[in-house]
Structure 1
């Protein structure tokens, strides 16, 4: 007998599936999950440490270490915040941007493969529904077309 999957169970299972792919692709790109999440958050903008801490759900001390390690690898740079002399913003370097694009492209390809067996109408419906579900969530992984 086929299992009936409720919305909550389906979303939890999908979360695990996506998290595992995220980590696997990150390893292939020489990025930890936390580094990949940070790079995705910094795409096309610099972010203050407090906002980045909130976005990533990290304590400031943990974020400081994450940024330090990424900076040592040449992926990010700290910049003075022109609006607040006491604050620091984090931005991608060209190497960080290249790492982000490689990660984004590989992850997008792997995620797209998950839906390839669905008929086009189901994929379109799933995409529209998913867009409504996540409409108010922060955009930290932009579509290539955006």
Structure 2
């Protein structure tokens, strides 16, 4: 018997397997856009996270990007050398810093994020609006549970 979480998935493909396949598809979109914009997929993810505005602390970036501190430090170092981001001291905690986009980084981040969103939207273009909302609601719940 098919469960509610498996409804709408291709035959034989359960909820978790569908998420895995979707994850691969999203990774390919990031890879394609990254290659076209001459950044790594990891840099594209960093740029997309930073489009939120006022900068993000290293601890939060580590959690959001699922990277250990040494890997995140290297990623930020490389993006900083390219002039895409800068580290800014946190006034509330002088030991900490926030990472924010430079003007050049912001321009690239807006393009990268926009292209990724556009391509992902195109993948679901044939889905009825109600189905799209249901998928978005379900993913929002799952994402909230991982915080």
Q: Normalising by structure 1, report the TM-score.
A: 0.82
Which of 89, 95, 109 lines up with 1:100 in the alignment? Answer: 109
CA distance in 1, matches of 2:107, 2:95: 30
- Are residue 12 (structure 1) and residue 20 (structure 2) matched? yes
Residue in 2 aligned with 1:21? 29
Task: Please tell me whether residue 134 in structure 1 is matched to residue 143 in structure 2.
Answer: yes
Structure 1 residue 126: Cα displacement: 2.8
Residue of structure 1 equivalent to 2:122: 113
Aligned residues: 137
Segments of structure 2 that go 5 or more residues without pairing to the other structure are 1-9
* 1:126–1:52 distance in 2 versus 1, CA, 3 Å: closer
Where do residues 1-146 of structure 1 align in structure 2 (5 Å cutoff)?
3-43=11-51, 44-137=53-146
Unaligned runs of 5+ in 1: 139-146
Is the partner of 1:133 in helix, strand or coil?
A: helix
Scaled by the length of structure 2, the TM-score of the pair is 0.81
Q: Which has the higher contact order (CA 8 A, sep 6+)?
A: 1
Give 3-state SS (helix, strand or coil) of 1:134's partner.
helix
What is the Cα-based RMSD across aligned positions, in Å?
1.9
CA shift digits 1:38-89 (9 cap, x unpaired) = 1122221212223222322222222222111111111001111111222222
More helix by share: 2
Q: Counterparts of 2:131 and 2:105 in 1: how far apart (Å)?
A: 36
